[in-house]
Structure 1
Amino acid sequence: MKRSRLMVWLGCGVSLLFLVLILRKVDGRQLLDALGRLHPGYLLAALVSTFASFGLRAVRWRYLLIHERPISLGSLYPAVIIGYMANNLFPARLGEFIRAWVLAERERLQTAAVFASLVIDRLFDGLSVMVMLAAVLLVLELPPGMEQTTALLHAGGVSMLLFYALALGFLVALKWRPVKTLSLLARLLKPFPAALSEKVISLCGSFLQGLKVSGHAGHLLVLAASSLGIWLTATLPIHLVLVGFGIHLPPIASFFIMVLLVFAVMVPAAPGYIGTYHLACYTGLVAFAVQPTEAVAISLVIHGIGFFPVILAGLYHLWTSGLSLSHVRRQAEAEQPPS
């Protein structure tokens, strides 16, 4: 518990530091003037695209769970929104556990099986981001003086590749050699408290039962197409907001900013990735010679689109489901290994 609180305070400190770094670069009145130049039509279109991305996540999730049974989008979509709302409000990506618990409770599924589908869901995201990063590095030519950013992108790409390769390797080993894999995991966890070791091994055992993906060609095609659609509709709001501010950059610039944002959300931060998200967006915009005040304004708007409306939508879906925020948090925390 103490370690969890320490990580929360560390994340809040990082967020505060990064916010100060970008906000000290601008004048408050100029920032308000810049925000006032945003065309509301583009803001609305960006909002629609953001929620379309969540809808496609629900579609992909349906086909990741189709081996259990077909689940309606009417159950999947609210769970997705509630999970992302929780990530905006709670630390340590608790929204992933909340998302799994909400769907499992609504559809009477095993939580471990649902959470296993989310691990595979994140692997699809990782592969999609790797493709996006490769395209950015191949096509994008950054202005002179951005060599350090290019080096960081390469380093981040290699780190992500290693992480997802290890995760995929563990899942394959767990699926095909479960006894040996769990035995090895138990040995690796020996230095940790016995309660943690027992909880992790138990979760992995339950998780194994849900580690399945349909091999049907049509289902795999939907998984690939929805993954492409998710990241296109998630990146489109960046382009729409830029145009809404009267800034016309090539589409690859929006993908470059999205890659930076993906790296940013991996850094410990306050709930909602406050600060880290803004600094990453600001850095990407300044690389294309966007003025600092406009870059800060755009960063605030892009983050706000995925923050405030998602929280409101999540609270609405909680209310219509007869659930409370405190209740789903307690249930999700019970599914986590002890700290």
Structure 2
Amino acid sequence: MNTAIPDTRPTLGLGKLAKRVAGAIVAISLTVVLIGSAFFRPVFEGGLHVVPRFPLSQWVADLPSHLWWVGLFFLFSASMAPLRAFRWGFTLAKPKPRYSDRYHSVAIGLLGNNVIPGKLGEALRAMTLTHFTKKRGKPIAFAQSLGTILVCKLLDLVALLVLVSLSPSGPFFGGNGNFTGGLTGVAIAVPILIGVLFLAAKFTPRIADWLEAKGRYPKIQKALRDLGVGIAASGSAKRIGLAFLGTLVAIASVSTGYTIALYGAGVHAGFFAGVILLAAVTLGQSPPGVPAGLGMYYLSCTWAARLLGATPEQAATLAVLTHLTTVISHIAVGAASLLIRRVRLRDLVPRGRDRRPAESPESVRGS
């Protein structure tokens, strides 16, 4: 006889609902303003009003002429999944999961970044790897997987810093001082983040031991230990070095797509200018939970493009077409992975019934 399971989910109070609605309104309004900044500018003479930066009808009519480079940009954008999956193998503990599991986890994470509000794709990526490795009988805990991804994200920042510094279009070799402030900020942040990760790897197990001695929060104890294991999983300077080389290759590939986009839009800023554009849009959207990530992309992309010599029309073209192509390519590779591995996004989130201890093979055979 089937027994109905009572719904124990907490109800959403009126106050919390009002806060969420207000937050959504603020996020949407901010996004509209930031996107609009690519097409309009404020004018204060005769009272505050906005005017178009360029003739919009002609700009729309010219968009189809850019399709040739949009296809190339799609390929370079989609290359992020296989290249990041290869790099990830160097930050995971041995024996590392299969490449196919890593690839599909990265691809589904890219999908999540574009369909889940708040840029939480990296968390989905960790959940996906946990799901795949669990099915193979060699589970990697979510927190441990997330720890390895944090190392990857730090390597992304370091690689961007190196490539922007060496770029002829950058602040040191290109004489473009407009990027110096942002580059200095990243250069200050990277050592701080490295220190935070080292401290986390060292002290999370100790905090877990302290909680265990107090007999408190067993789930947090396990999460802290798994996180520490994940951060320290690379295990050697050699593997970190290989992971960094893999990061440079991945970022160089995607930045080549942005260089082609600049050339296709009519901005001849040099072969290495794409990394400047990539760094701008990446750092502009880096913090997870940013309420206006879409607007930040348009703002950072058009700002960097204009500094590289783009006209307002060219900057708007780059922002619109690179963003749409990035979203489509990431959704495409992620959706393909969901179909190939026959999983649904909701299957990756553990539910109450999934947290029960699984029966051992011996107990199953003996029943």
TM-score, scaled relative to structure 2: 0.74
Equivalent residue in structure 2 for 1:132, among 147, 163, 172: 163
Q: Of 290, 293, 297, which aligns to 2:313?
A: 293
Aligned length: 312
> Contact 2:261 / 2:318 at 8 angstroms: preserved in 1?
yes
Tell me the alpha carbon deviations over residues 228-254 of structure 1, each in whole angstroms, 9 at most, x when there is no partner.
101101111111112223432212432
Q: Which of these residues, 53, 58, 82, is aligned with residue 55 of structure 1?
A: 82
CA distance in 2, matches of 1:285, 1:4: 34
**Alignment of 1:321 onto 2:348:** no
Q: Given the alignment of the two structures, is residue 32 of structure 1 paired with residue 52 of structure 2, yes or no?
A: no
**Which residue matches 1:191?**
none
Give the whole-Å Cα distance in 2 for the aligned partners of 1:276 and 1:86. Answer: 18
Structure 2: gaps spanning 5 or more residues: 1-11, 41-52, 135-139, 356-367
Q: Which has the higher contact order (CA 8 A, sep 6+)?
A: 1
Q: Measure how far apart 1:283 and its partner are.
A: 1.3
Mark the CA change 1:216 to 1:204 in structure 2 (over 3 Å): closer, same or farther: closer
1:75 aligns with 2:101: yes
Structure 1 residue 61: deviation in Å? 0.7
Q: What per-residue deviation string (whole Å, max 9, x for no partner) do you get for residues 247-272 of structure 1? A: 3221243222222212211366457x
* Partner residue, 1:266: 286
Question: For the Cα contact (< 8 Å) 1:241–1:302, is it kept in 2?
Answer: yes
Taking the aligned partners of 2:59 and 2:319, their CA distance within structure 1 comes to 11
Q: CA deviation at 1:138?
A: 0.9
Offset, 1:317:
1.3
Partner residue in 2 for 1:87? 113
Alignment CA distance shift 1:53-1:47 (3 Å): same
Partner of 1:192: none
| Paired residues of 2:34 and 2:296 also in contact (CA < 8 A) | yes
- Provide closer, same or farther for how the CA distance between residues 205 and 161 of structure 1 changes in structure 2, counting only shifts above 3 A: farther
Are 1:21 and 2:37 counterparts?
yes
Q: How big is the alpha-carbon RMSD for the aligned residues of Structure 1 and Structure 2?
A: 3.2
Matches within 5 A, 1:167-206: 167-178=193-204, 203-206=223-226
The answer to whether the Cα contact below 8 Å between 2:160 and 2:275 also exists between their aligned partners in 1 is no
Taking the aligned partners of 1:158 and 1:226, their CA distance within structure 2 comes to 24
Higher alpha-carbon deviation: 279-288 or 203-212: 203-212
Distance apart, 1:170 and its partner CA = 2.8
7-16 vs 243-252, which moves further: 7-16
CA distance in 2, matches of 1:263, 1:122: 11
Relative to structure 1, the CA distance from residue 275 to residue 69 in structure 2 (aligned partners, 3 Å threshold; closer, same or farther) is: same
Whole-angstrom CA distance in 1 between matches of 2:24 and 2:242: 37
Point out the structure with the larger helix share: 1
* Distance of 2:316 and 2:113 partners within structure 1: 23
- Specify every segment of 5 or more residues in structure 1 that has no aligned partner in the other structure, as ranges: 186-194
Specify whether residues 141 and 183 from structure 1 end up closer, same or farther in structure 2 by C-alpha distance, changes over 3 A only. farther
**Match of residue 129 from structure 2:** 103
- Per the TM alignment, residue 76 of structure 1 is displaced from its structure 2 partner at its CA by 1.1
Alignment of 1:312 with 2:332, yes or no, is yes
Closer, same or farther: CA 178–314 of 1 in aligned 2, 3 Å: closer
Choose the corresponding residue for 1:123, options 154, 158, 162. 154
Is 1:114 aligned to residue 145 of structure 2? yes
When normalised by structure 1's length, the TM-score is 0.80
| Aligned-partner residue type, residue 274 of structure 1 | L
Aligned positions of 1:143-158 closer than 5 A: 149-150=178-179, 153-154=180-181, 156-158=182-184
Alpha-carbon deviation of 1:301?
Answer: 1.1
Judged with a 3 Å threshold, the aligned counterparts in structure 2 of structure 1 residues 162 and 181 are, in CA distance, closer, same or farther, namely farther
TM-superposed deviation, 1:35: 1.3
- Following TM superposition, by how much is the alpha carbon of 1:117 offset from its aligned partner in structure 2, in angstroms? 0.7
Q: How far is 1:277 from its partner?
A: 0.7
SS of aligned partner of 1:251? coil
Judge conservation of contact 1:18–1:275 (CA < 8 Å) in 2. Answer: yes
Q: Indicate the SS of the match to 2:172.
A: helix
Paired residue for 1:302? 322
Q: Aligned-pair distance for 1:121?
A: 0.8
Secondary structure, counterpart of 2:66 in structure 1: coil
**Which of 1 and 2 has greater Rg?**
2
Please say if residues 173 and 181 of structure 1, whose CA atoms lie closer than 8 Å, have aligned partners that are also in contact.
no
Say if 1:6 and 1:292 are closer, same or farther in 2 by CA, change over 3 A.
same
**C-alpha displacement of 1:173:** 2.3
Contact 2:89 2:97 in 1 (8 A): yes
CA contact (8 A) 1:10 1:269 kept: no
Matches within 5 A, 1:201-280: 203-215=223-235, 219-266=239-286, 269-270=290-291, 273-280=293-300
